[in-house]
Amino acid sequence: MVGTACREVSPPDVQLLGASAVRDDAGRVFLFDGVAQPRLSVGGSGEVSVRVSDLEITPVGRRRVAGRVLLTLPRPEGMGPRLLEVRRAGGVWRQRIVLRPDPFSAPAVRVVALAADQDSRSAKARLSGLEDDLWPWGCVEWARRVPAEGRANAYLECADGAGERGFVSEAASRRIAALYWANRVRHLREAQKVLQLAEAAVAAAGLPQLQAELEYQRGLLLSLVGHLHEARQALEAAAALATRIGEDGEAAVFGMQAALTISDLGRHEEALARVEALASSSTVGLSAGDAATLDSTAGWIRLRAARAWDAPELLPSARAALERVAATYAALGQPEREANALANLAFLERLAGRPGAALDLVARARAASPATRGFETAFLDLLEGELHLDAQRWAEAEAALSRAWQGTLQEDPTASTEDLFRAQVGLAVAALAQRRRPEALARLARARQVLARSARLAGSEAMRARLLEARRGVYAAAVTAFADAGELDAAWRLADQAQALFLRSLENDRRVRLARLAPAARARFESAELVYLERRER
């Protein structure tokens, strides 16, 4: 008689999403707070059935994304532990979950919040009295009230404490929050260290939503230091991850930031196309502030295109969006974001030919921000300096542009951003106007160094060419200033240097494109090119 061995069926490929927290001190448990609903991402084929503690559950939402089934489950009734089971093709996947009230509403956590409203130091002392199940949320109530410059360190303390209590998700989430605040107040060298801590914590947590958030913050940091190609890659990875797990609102925010990076690279048509594609995106799951960020970023992208193309017809839609966003942030009590929206409106007023209104908004933006430095600080210094240049107030221009240059380099000596380039060009123009020719030439040389480094970091040769073309107008204005001052030899030399940099990039781009062609196609192209050049010479 021949025996038949039973083949063990592997459990289905399941990701549990939507949890408020994950604890891993004695086996992994997913916590669902308040009204949070479990969601599932299931791979493979066949019918999927779901049970919670032996009760069959009918999903309230189902769709396919990237070859997987995304299921939204109704929140089970009651509170306490449950066993979630997913069956597919004979395999069973099991996971413990816990349903509980929102910890932020717990009386002990509310006491910490109220104390923090009065004095963050006394609130921190109260954390030691919290139970482990509540401590991570009490710590957040303390950290979010610490002054902006110290908030990154506060969130790192919360991360350490959450990790000690087994909350792997909160240990990662708080480090991502620390990275956000280090970026926000432009402590960029600190941010690079926090990024490494966050990477390790996110890897340990193994949760795709945290990986998406980390990639987003990584992209912001890379943008701030001028690594635009890598920034775009990180932001598009964040958007793709969010889409795969059904976080459509976050995917839209991340995708809009990627569009801004495309704009920074000088590819305004592509950036505006992205804006239009994302305009109707779902904002489900986003806070009111994050939803407003979509409008804010879209408005800024339109402003950049308006400047590049001298297209005032783009200004009204950008103005409406940014005014709405600034009002939203003010109503929500988010002064850091309000300052950023006001800075963008100041830029708009300069484009609209209203320098007085622009300077007023620069002052309002600075007054709104509680941080010594923020996302908008260097930009405001640069904008103020350029407004003074326009009015030939040379001393005021030099003071503001020097702040933009020195402040950015103090944040990260390796930074290579458009703001740095524009600041040095502006300082050169101001020096020339005051007959300090050697200084003006030295500053333009520094501007060229920044520009060359920015181009190297832009990615492909085609992207380098687009970035250089986008910066060409700023450099051309400096050349014109030298010519107007009677420095014709210097003007010609500077123009030749800038043109050489641009043409080298174009020639490299041409060689890369030709190398991609099949031999026969390359020969046809080169033959046609030769005919064209001969005709042009006649």
CATH of the domain at 63: 2.60.40
Residue finishing a domain among 206, 236, 252: 206
Instruction: Indicate whether 59 and 150 sit together in one domain.
Output: no
In a domain, 242, yes or no: no
pLDDT band at 226 (very low <50, low <70, confident <90, very high): confident
The residue range of the domain holding 427 is 423-538
| pLDDT at 514 > cutoff 50 | no
Residue 530 to residue 538: CA distance in whole angstroms:
13
- pLDDT band for 448, please (50, 70, 90 cuts): confident
Q: Of the candidates 146, 177, 206, which is a domain's last residue?
A: 206
pLDDT-based confidence at residue 503 (cuts at 50, 70, 90): very low
Asked if pLDDT for residue 294 goes beyond 50, the answer is yes
Number of domains in the chain: 3
Distance CA(478)–CA(495), nearest Å, equals 9
Q: Does 527 lie in the same domain as 429?
A: yes
pLDDT surpasses 50 at 2? no
The reply to whether 60 and 158 lie within a common domain is: no
Question: Mind listing the pLDDT tens digit for each residue in 174-185?
Answer: 999 999 999 998
The DSSP H or E segment spanning 50 is strand 48-52
Distance CA 182, CA 171 (A): 17
Residue 232 scores a pLDDT above 50: yes
pLDDT mean over 459-468: 60
pLDDT in tens, 396-423: 999 999 999 888 887 777 766 778 888 9
| pLDDT for 534 beyond 60 | no
* Mean pLDDT confidence for 196-220: 97
Domain final position from 57, 77, 101: 101
Beta carbons within 8 Å of 20's beta carbon, 6+ residues apart: 31, 32, 33, 34, 36
- Of the listed ranges 315-324, 406-415, 528-537, the least confidently predicted one is 528-537
pLDDT band at residue 10 under the 50/70/90 scheme? confident
Across the chain, mean pLDDT equals: 86
Indicate if 189 and 109 belong to the same structural domain.
Answer: yes
pLDDT in tens, 33-65: 998 999 999 998 888 999 998 899 999 999 999
Looking up tokens 């001028």 gives 226
Give the tens place of pLDDT for each residue, 243-271.
Answer: 999 999 999 999 999 999 999 888 899 99
Q: Are residues 83 and 118 in the same domain?
A: no
Whether 532 and 429 share a structural domain: yes
Residue 240 lies in a domain: no
338 inside domain: no
Residue 197 has pLDDT above 50, yes or no: yes
Let me know whether 139 and 77 are in one domain.
Answer: no
- Is 434's pLDDT higher than 50? yes
Tokens encoding 15:
């990701």
**How many Cβ atoms from other residues are within 10 Å of residue 193's Cβ?**
14
252 belongs to a structural domain: no
279 domain residue, yes or no: no
Residues 381-409, mean pLDDT to the nearest whole number: 93
Which region, left, alpha or beta, applies to residue 362 given φ > 0 means left and ψ of -120 to 50 means alpha? alpha
Q: Are both 88 and 24 inside the same structural domain?
A: yes
Buried b (16+ CB within 10 A) or exposed e, 359-385: bebbebbbebbebebbbbbbbbbbbbb
Residue with more model confidence, 111 or 530? 111
pLDDT at residue 308 in the model? 86
CA distance 125 to 115: 10
Would residue 79 count as lying in a domain? yes
Tell me whether residue 37 is exposed, middle or buried, using C-beta atoms within 10 angstroms of its C-beta: 0 to 12, 13 to 18, 19 or more.
middle
Answer whether residue 530 shows pLDDT above 80: no
Same domain, residue pair 106 and 201: yes
Residues 23 and 118 in one domain: no
Return the top range by mean pLDDT from 311-320, 372-381, 470-479: 311-320
Give me the pLDDT at residue 447, please. Answer: 81
Neighbouring residues of 182: CB distance < 8 A, sequence distance ≥ 6 = 152, 188, 190, 191, 194
Residues 6+ apart with CB under 8 A from 1: none
Ramachandran quadrant class, 246 (left: phi over 0; alpha: psi -120 to 50; beta: rest):
left
**Does residue 117 lie within any of the structural domains?**
yes
Domain check: are 90 and 107 in the same one?
no
- How far apart, in Å, are the Cα atoms of 161 and each of 164, 167, 213, 425? 5, 9, 21, 48
At 75 the three-state DSSP class reads: coil
Q: With bands split at pLDDT 50, 70 and 90, how would you rate the model's confidence at 373?
A: confident
- CB neighbour class for 29 (10 Å; exposed up to 12, middle 13-18, buried from 19): middle
Domain shared by 438 and 530, yes or no: yes
Out of 74-78, 79-83, 225-229, 525-529, least confident range: 525-529
The answer to whether residue 119 is domain-embedded is yes
Identify which of 447, 451, 442, 381 has the alpha carbon closest to the alpha carbon of residue 411.
Answer: 381
d(CA 384, CA 404): 10
Listed range (135-139, 257-261, 281-285, 386-390) with the worst mean pLDDT: 281-285
Is pLDDT larger for residue 447 or for residue 18? 18
Judged against a pLDDT cut of 90, whether residue 351 lies above it is answered with yes
347 pLDDT tier (thresholds 50, 70, 90)? very high
